[in-house]
């Protein structure tokens, strides 16, 4: 998936949901199945249940489909507000040994996580729903929390070169767009935050019509229905993504650091010739990523590693930003005696050669066979539930409506070489390229 969401912690959601099947051009409707259910007429925009038999615990996530990219200045204020909401809603009550809670803000969503024993489901749902209530905390606590946010910034960025590079790349790659906005802000921004401004922002953003509740565990739809809080029902559309405007050009960033291993991060965004269905586009780009990461004809491992020894290691990935823009990222480490400039030139030559010639049938066939592991074993309910949960969690985080199992299985049949090479060719379109060089000063161009 794309890099935009940057969760506050490293917590990885293990299991989440599924939904929706094609029911007309551009519209998806839910199709129930034994693994996933959707509840209508609830106090949230969407409620999804992933049923995982044999588990004694339940995990709940309330995701507000609005994030840092949607907010006016100053950057970072929503992140501070999320801290206050968490403390006000259940920061002290939910620290028992049998429960875990967390919260995060990223570019597109703000979320709250709570898990506990299955028998406590009604109380867990009620506790999580408290994030919809107004923040009610003493002013001194809220000011102390602002100091904690400042320390979080210091911990995550001040002595973390990779994090600083990531922030700079985000601003450069997405220049001119809301996606470039920092989730945390700067120390100067944080120092200027006021509790009143943060509360006003969370009051506007933490709305039921923007909320998706995800529940994972061995519970029935009827049990979850009975646990719903007594609040008005909500019927609201999916909040749109922030509009993306491509700013063509090229930008070079340098990060001298005597302790850093020399490397290059190369990123490019292009606009597609025509809009594409996002799930199909994402799957095609994932397959292209795997094709590039081989020594087969058209892959980059041959010309960059095994044939010419240009790189000691590299990682390449492709993903969609939306239905009309896609991005490619290459992280590469030069082999002994190879300069960063020479490595870049070799990479761009190899990439251009493949884009021009396209991938051959042999490479497509071999990689497609291995790509089966991208999907779950659809006959295994547990494997399917885990995979669909992660899929829907990803989709919710980038404000899309997930497909149901039948629609996803159909995607597997839509992978063909001609379409992939046509998509690849569009990386020649006008776009934006940002290159970051990292390492000791003497190694940087």
Domains, the chain, in order of start with CATH, read 32-227 (3.30.830.10), 249-379+401-443 (3.30.830.10)
How many C-beta atoms surround the C-beta of residue 191 within 10 A? 11
What's the rounded Cα separation, in Å, for the pair 124 and 259? 46
Mean pLDDT score of the chain: 90
Q: What is the pLDDT of residues 157-200, one digit of tens each?
A: 998 999 999 999 999 999 999 999 999 999 999 999 999 999 99
Q: What is the mean pLDDT of residues 55-71?
A: 94
Q: What is the pLDDT of residues 325-349, one digit of tens each?
A: 999 999 999 999 999 999 999 999 9
Higher pLDDT, 385 or 222: 222
Q: What is the pLDDT of residues 7-21, one digit of tens each?
A: 333 323 332 333 222
Q: Token pair for residue 226?
A: 């009975």
Q: What is the pLDDT of residues 393-406, one digit of tens each?
A: 888 889 998 888 88
What's the rounded Cα separation, in Å, for the pair 64 and 253? 34
Q: Which helix (H) or strand (E) holds 314?
A: strand 311-322
Q: Which helix (H) or strand (E) holds 431?
A: strand 431-439
Q: What is the mean pLDDT of residues 268-289?
A: 97
User: Which among 404, 394, 165 is positioned nearest to 261, based on CA atoms?
Assistant: 165
Provide the pLDDT for residue 37: 87
What's the rounded Cα separation, in Å, for the pair 1 and 64? 19
Provide the pLDDT for residue 382: 85
What's the rounded Cα separation, in Å, for the pair 298 and 293? 9
Higher pLDDT, 402 or 132: 132
For 61, residues 6+ apart whose C-beta sits below 8 A from its C-beta are 13, 16, 111, 112, 113, 114, 213, 214, 393
Q: Which of 10-24, 134-148, 279-293, 339-353 has the lowest mean pLDDT?
A: 10-24
Is pLDDT above 50 for 69? yes
Give this prediction's pTM.
0.88
What's the rounded Cα separation, in Å, for the pair 371 and 438? 32
């Amino acid at each position: 998936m794309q890099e935009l969401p940057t969760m506050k912690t490293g917590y990885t959601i293990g299991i989440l949901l599924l939904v929706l099947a094609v029911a007309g051009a551009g519209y998806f409707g839910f199709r129930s199945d034994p693994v996933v259910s959707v509840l209508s007429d609830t106090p949230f925009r969407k409620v999804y249940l992933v049923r995982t038999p044999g588990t004694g615990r339940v995990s709940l996530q309330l995701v507000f489909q609005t994030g840092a990219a949607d907010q006016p200045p100053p950057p970072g204020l929503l992140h501070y507000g999320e801290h206050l909401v968490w403390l006000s809603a259940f920061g002290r009550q939910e620290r028992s040994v049998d429960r875990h809670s967390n919260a995060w803000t990223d570019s597109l969503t703000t979320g709250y996580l709570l898990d506990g024993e299955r028998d406590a489901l009604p109380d867990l749902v009620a506790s999580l729903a408290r994030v919809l209530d107004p923040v009610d905390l003493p002013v001194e606590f809220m000011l102390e929390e602002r100091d904690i946010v400042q320390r979080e910034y210091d911990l995550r960025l001040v002595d973390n070169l990779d994090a600083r590079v990531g922030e700079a790349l985000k601003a450069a790659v997405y220049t001119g767009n809301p996606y470039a906005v920092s989730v945390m802000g700067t120390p100067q921004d944080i120092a200027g935050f006021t509790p009143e401004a943060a509360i006003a922002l969370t009051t506007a953003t933490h709305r039921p019509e923007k909320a998706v509740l995800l529940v994972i565990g061995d519970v029935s739809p009827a049990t979850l229905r009975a646990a719903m809080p007594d609040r008005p029902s909500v019927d609201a559309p999916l909040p749109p993504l922030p509009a993306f405007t491509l700013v063509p050009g090229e930008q070079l960033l340098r990060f001298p650091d005597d302790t850093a291993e020399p490397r290059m991060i190369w990123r490019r965004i292009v606009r597609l010739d025509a809009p594409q269905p996002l799930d199909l586009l994402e799957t095609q780009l994932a397959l292209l990523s795997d094709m590039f990461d081989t020594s087969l004809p058209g892959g980059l491992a041959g010309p960059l590693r095994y044939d010419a020894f240009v790189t000691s290691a590299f990682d390449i990935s492709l993903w969609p930003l939306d239905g009309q823009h896609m991005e490619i990222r290459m992280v590469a480490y030069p082999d002994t005696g190879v300069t960063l400039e020479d490595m870049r030139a070799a990479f761009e030559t190899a990439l251009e050669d493949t884009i021009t010639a396209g991938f051959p049938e042999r490479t497509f066939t071999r990689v497609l066979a291995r790509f089966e592991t991208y999907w779950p074993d659809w006959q295994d309910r547990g494997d399917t539930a885990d995979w669909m949960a992660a899929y829907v969690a990803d989709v919710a985080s980038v404000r899309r409506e997930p497909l149901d199992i039948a629609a996803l299985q159909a995607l597997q049949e839509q992978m063909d070489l001609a379409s992939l090479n046509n998509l690849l060719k569009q990386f020649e379109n006008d776009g934006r390229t940002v290159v970051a060089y990292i390492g000791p000063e003497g190694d940087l161009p």
